[in-house]
Amino acid sequence: MTRSRTSKKASSPAASSAAPDPALPDPHAAGAAAYAQADAQGELFQLIAPDGTVTHPELLPDPATRLALYRQMRRVRHFDERAWVLYRTGRMGVFPPYGGMEASQVGTAAALTPQDWLFPTYRDTGAALAYGLPIPQTLAYWRTSPHGWAMPQNLKILPFYIPIATQYPHAVGAALAEARQGTRNVAMAFIGDGGSSEGDFHEALNFAGALNASCVFILQNNGWAISVPTRAQTKATNLSRRADGYGIPGVRVDGNDVLATWHVTREAVERARRGEGPTLIETVTYRIKPHTLADDPSRYRTDADNAGWDAKDPVTRLRAHLLAGGHLTEEEDAQLTREIEAEFEAALAEADAFPEPTPAEILDHVFAEPTPQLARQRAQILAEEGA
């Protein structure tokens, strides 16, 4: 039986920027009012405009946090881009890309500490990386190696969920369990606009409200559920308002502005930590890329559908802001690129070295002790497959 390896987070060069220090000075006092105002005016809550211009200077996190978020977005984007290439060369399984949604994933997940829980969907590799899931393991998961399923002991993250919405109630239970055990740890779960049609989404929001669970629910509205646009998914036009039905706060935010997503998520995480209950955050973004790397979006959407979204790119937006503010130089940016590439290539080499599973391993980890039935089936595999 092959035992999975433990986390390599400590050796990961990006680990230090995985989660900004939760003890940072709280810049959020004016937040709630600002995003309530944006919502009332039918606008998205935003801290920097697509060209990098600051729209809410009083709410900006400090420069170190801005740089940490930038670094994380670059790192996460690099993974998405390399995954595509690896897929094309047969070195990656089917992968759901998230390129263009980095602000939605990094700004939210980076608001957690490793004591908090992360319940990611298949789309949320970026969030998992930002939370601290080591790259070799993440690669292994998408290469369908069991090494990718063995979640690190020092993090509270689950393997990417494939059935839509089903993990939402788990987050409620995890949050409740934390509270019952006297901790202040919170649980964050992700979902898509399509997923928010599922019953589990609604049950979870209702349970979390009724039981005051410390949950932060991230609803990434990326415009599409495979081929179904949001307007065909639901008549609702503001998905954050779904929270109203359950008596919990709902926040709508520009999902391509990492400072904004980080801001509202930090506030929601802090609320939850204080015991004030759950929040639903809708990050309005766009799935620029195909549903998975095996999907052909030209069958269901046009260039007109995609128009304008490249200009809202979250990475170039923050980069422009940092360069203009003197927080980043072109030279530092080039150095960052080299670091990120080196980190990824080292991780890839590590992932390449994971051994393939043996046939009998498919029967491992069903129960703590195999039943007599499983023991006999193992003997059968060993006899037939000789491994």
Ligand X SMILES: Cc1ncc(C[n+]2csc(CCOP(=O)(O)OP(=O)(O)O)c2C)c(N)n1
Q: How far apart are CA 109 and CA 302, in angstroms?
A: 31
Minimum CB–partner distance for residue 354 and another protein (Å):
12
Q: 48 - beta bridge partners? A: 54
In the complex, what is the shortest distance from the CB of residue 200 to another protein, in angstroms, rounded to a whole number? 6
Q: Residue 224 touches which of ligand X, another protein, none (CB < 5 to 8 A by kind)?
A: ligand X
Name the helix (H) or strand (E) containing 199: helix 199-210
Is 287 one of the annotated active-site residues of the chain? Answer: yes
Applying CB under 8 A, among 45, 87, 95, 168 the residue interacting with another protein is 168
- Count H helices, E strands: the chain? 13, 8
Q: Does 175 bind another protein (CB under 8 A)?
A: yes
The residue type at 192: G
282 binding another protein? (CB under 8 A): no
Candidates 110-118, 127-135, 170-178, 186-194: pick the segment binding ligand X (CB under 6 A): 186-194
Q: How far is the CB of 100 from ligand X (least distance, A)?
A: 12
Neighbours of 72 (CB within 10 A): 26
Selected range binding ligand X among 9-17, 201-209, 224-232, 266-274, rule: CB under 6 A: 224-232
Q: Is 187 left (phi over 0), alpha (psi -120 to 50) or beta?
A: beta
The conformational region for residue 40 under phi > 0 = left, psi -120 to 50 = alpha, else beta, is: alpha
Closest residue to ligand X: CB criterion: 192
3-state class percentages of the chain: helix first, strand second, coil last, to nearest 5: 50, 10, 40
207 binds, among ligand X, another protein, none (CB under 5 to 8 A by kind): another protein
Radius of gyration of the chain (CA): 21
Spatial distance between the Cα atoms of 346 and 200, rounded to a whole number of angstroms: 39
Task: Give me the sign of the Cα torsion angle 35, 39, 40, 46.
Answer: positive
Residue 174 engages another protein in binding (rule: CB under 8 A): yes
Instruction: Rule CB under 8 A: say whether 38 interacts with another protein.
Output: no
304 is a contact residue toward another protein (CB under 8 A): no
| Residue of the chain from 47, 118, 172, 259 that contacts another protein (CB under 8 A) | 172
Nearest residue to 80 (alpha-carbon basis) of 106, 57, 98: 98
Q: Which is nearer to another protein, 19 or 205 (CB)?
A: 205
Distances in Å between the Cα of 249 and the Cα atoms of 177, 202, 282, 331 are: 22, 14, 11, 43
Member of 96, 100, 120, 169 binding another protein (CB under 8 A): 169
Q: How far is the CB of 271 from another protein (least distance, A)?
A: 19
The option from ligand X, another protein, none interacting with 178 (CB < 5 to 8 A, set by class) reads another protein
Q: How far apart are CA 215 and CA 273, in angstroms?
A: 9
Residue 225 binding result from ligand X, another protein, none, given CB thresholds of 5 to 8 Å by partner type: ligand X
C-alpha torsion sign, points 302, 305, 307, 313: negative
Which residues of this chain interact with another protein, rule CB under 8 A?
Answer: 4, 117, 146, 149-153, 156, 158-159, 163, 166-178, 180-181, 187, 199-200, 203-204, 206-207, 210-211, 364-368, 371-373
Residues labelled catalytic: 287, 291, 300
Which residues of this chain interact with ligand X, rule CB under 6 A?
Answer: 123, 162-164, 192-195, 222, 224-226, 287, 291
